[in-house]
């Protein structure tokens, strides 16, 4: 296993729209394991392949306190079950240090494949529903900062560019 480099806003590679995973192979499972290790090391609760510069439709999440409940979604598709929006203070490993309120549908149904390529569907609410929508946005080249005002987004971009310059 290995930890992978996480792309940070405003890296243009985060705007890539990911392609469907054709077949789930040992290479896919190896990528999933590296993504889980990367997410746990951060630590974070969700990571999409886009964030590690792999432009395939897969993501991992673990909402447990003790890294005991890894979830894998390959080629996820969602359907909104309840149009009512919930507010959540979202963060992102690609936007380190910033948390802002975003509104998203509270209840969704997801259809996806697991690490063995088996199809499943699940109904999610609460943080799981929010996090999954945030991660699927990454696969579509979107970031939570896109939901903020241009002023807030620019402020975040400038601060991150400054830390990135200092690091380089």
Residues forming the active site: 135
In the complex with ligand QAP, which residue's Cβ is closer, 24 or 129? 129
Q: Taking CB under 6 A as the rule, does residue 58 contact ligand QAP?
A: no
| Binding-site size, ligand QAP (CB under 6 A) | 15
In the complex with ligand QAP, which residue's Cβ is closer, 98 or 147? 98
Which residues are CB-neighbours of 155 under 8 A, at least 6 positions away? none
Q: Taking CB under 6 A as the rule, does residue 62 contact ligand QAP?
A: no
Q: Given candidates 74, 92, 136, 139, which one binds ligand QAP under the rule CB under 6 A?
A: 92
Q: Taking CB under 6 A as the rule, does residue 160 contact ligand QAP?
A: no
Q: Taking CB under 6 A as the rule, does residue 45 contact ligand QAP?
A: yes
Q: Taking CB under 6 A as the rule, does residue 130 contact ligand QAP?
A: yes
The neighbouring-strand residues paired with 73 are 59
CA distance 124 to 35: 22
Q: Given candidates 17, 41, 42, 85, which one binds ligand QAP under the rule CB under 6 A?
A: 42
CA distance 109 to 122: 6
CA distance 30 to 26: 6
Calculated CA dihedral for residues 42, 48, 49, 52, nearest 10 degrees: -30
CA distance 92 to 95: 5
Q: Would you tell me which residues interact with ligand QAP (CB under 6 A)?
A: 42, 44-46, 88, 90-93, 96-98, 130-131, 134
């Amino acid at each position: 296993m290995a930890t992978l480099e996480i792309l940070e806003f405003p890296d243009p590679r985060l705007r890539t729209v990911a392609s469907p995973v054709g077949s789930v192979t040992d290479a896919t499972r190896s990528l999933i394991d590296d993504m889980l290790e990367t997410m746990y090391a951060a630590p974070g609760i969700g990571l999409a392949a886009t964030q590690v510069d792999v432009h395939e439709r897969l993501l991992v999440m673990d909402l447990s306190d003790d890294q005991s409940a890894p979830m894998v979604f390959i080629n996820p598709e969602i359907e909104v079950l309840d149009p009512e929006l919930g507010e959540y203070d979202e963060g992102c490993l690609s936007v380190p240090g910033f948390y802002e309120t975003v509104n998203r549908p509270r209840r969704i149904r997801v259809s996806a494949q697991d690490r063995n390529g088996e199809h499943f569907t699940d109904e999610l609410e609460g943080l799981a529903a929010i996090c999954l929508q945030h991660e699927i946005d990454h696969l579509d080249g979107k970031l939570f900062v896109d939901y903020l005002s241009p002023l807030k987004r620019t402020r975040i971009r400038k601060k991150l560019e400054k830390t990135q310059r200092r690091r380089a």
